Structure 1
Amino acid sequence: MTTIRTPRTFANAMTRVAASLSFETCRKIAHRSNRTVRYWSEERSKKRPTIEQALQFDIAYRLAGGEGAPFLDTYMHKLDVAVEAAIACSDALAGDFATFARESGEAVAAGFAVTLSNASERDIIRAVGEVEEAESALTAIRRRLASIARLGARSNTAPVRGTQ
């Protein structure tokens, strides 16, 4: 029975290489046991070939007439997905800050209107509404920042210590 593997995974890359070269050849390239090399082709396995081994597999695959480079193609796909996620998070965060800037500006303007001697009950209600919208925008920023921190979406994120 053929096991179906998810495309663009390292397990699938190992399966493609082994289908072209054979597990025995892959074992010799990696200087590992046949079982280890077969284990690399199983999605449930957490073990993967080293970068150097993956490079050797891609070279042998290409020399055997294969198109592309299964491990490099998988790595590039995973890199693209991660970078796109980080960019999307940064773009969304910028949008959240823009919304907060607009909402807080409207809250400040409505608050100043309340300080005027001719302020009405309607002005006060409007100011409260504007402050609530600014609070909502700030809450959205807090959630987005927490989400980015959990996902590790920013490659230059460093742990913050002692400032909480």
Structure 2
Amino acid sequence: MTKRRDPLTVHQALTVIAARIGWDKCGMLVGRSGRLVRMWSDPDADSEISILDAMRLDRAFIEAGGDHAPILRVYSFQLDIAASEGATDMTRAAAAAAKESGEAVAALLDAALHPQDPGALRRARKEGEEALAAITDGLAALDRQEREVH
């Protein structure tokens, strides 16, 4: 049975990397066994990946055709969530995320239709960044709510 790995965790990012390059190659790249790297992806294991090994695996993922650095992305999102001072009310956070995401999608479609228009490209980037910020605020509000409940 496959163990559940929460989104936005290093555990889940490691499984994304291994799906592309394989557990054994992951182990070879960091000078460890594939089994140990698989343990790093287990949320119940005590063993954790080092920052240098994370960098090596992210780099290998990109070199194998990946479009981002999975562990870096998780780390970056986690820092953004921790630092967010966004909306505390889940309803407001969800509404803002929906609004900003819709505007981002519309701007991306406009940029796709007008790829030579620098203004359309700038608006798409701006709207995308605003959508990411709103979603990050929503995740931070969710984290605060979970802490209050537990």
TM range (shorter): 0.5 to 0.7
- Tell me if structure 2 keeps the 8 A contact 1:10–1:48: no
Q: Which residue of 1 aligns with 2:11?
A: 11
**Matches of 2:44 and 2:2, distance apart in 1:** 15
Equivalent residue runs for 1:26-105 within 5 Å? 26-84=26-84
Instruction: Give per-residue Cα distances to partners, 1:93-146, cap 9 Å, x unaligned.
Output: xxxxxxxxxxxxxxxxxxxxxxxxxxxxxxxxxxxxxxxxxxxxxxxxxxxxxx
Q: How many residue pairs align between the two structures? A: 89
SS of residue paired to 2:32: coil
SS of residue paired to 1:65: coil
Q: CA deviation at 1:88?
A: 7.8
Q: Which residue of 1 aligns with 2:130?
A: none
The one-letter code matched in structure 1 to 2:26 is: C
- Tell me if structure 2 keeps the 8 A contact 1:21–1:61: yes
The one-letter code matched in structure 1 to 2:35 is: R
Q: Which has the higher contact order (CA 8 A, sep 6+)?
A: 2
Change (3 A) 1:88 1:69: same
Provide the TM-score with structure 2 as the length reference: 0.54
Unaligned runs of 5+ residues in structure 2 are: 89-146
Q: CA deviation at 1:46?
A: 3.4
The percent of aligned pairs where both chains have the same amino acid is 36
Q: CA deviation at 1:68?
A: 1.2
**Matches of 1:26 and 1:34, distance apart in 2:** 6
The one-letter code matched in structure 2 to 1:36 is: L
Unaligned runs of 5+ residues in structure 1 are: 90-150, 152-164
Which has the larger Rg? Answer: 1
RMSD: 2.0
* Aligned structure 1 segments of 4 or more residues deviating by more than 6 angstroms: none
**Matches of 2:11 and 2:48, distance apart in 1:** 8
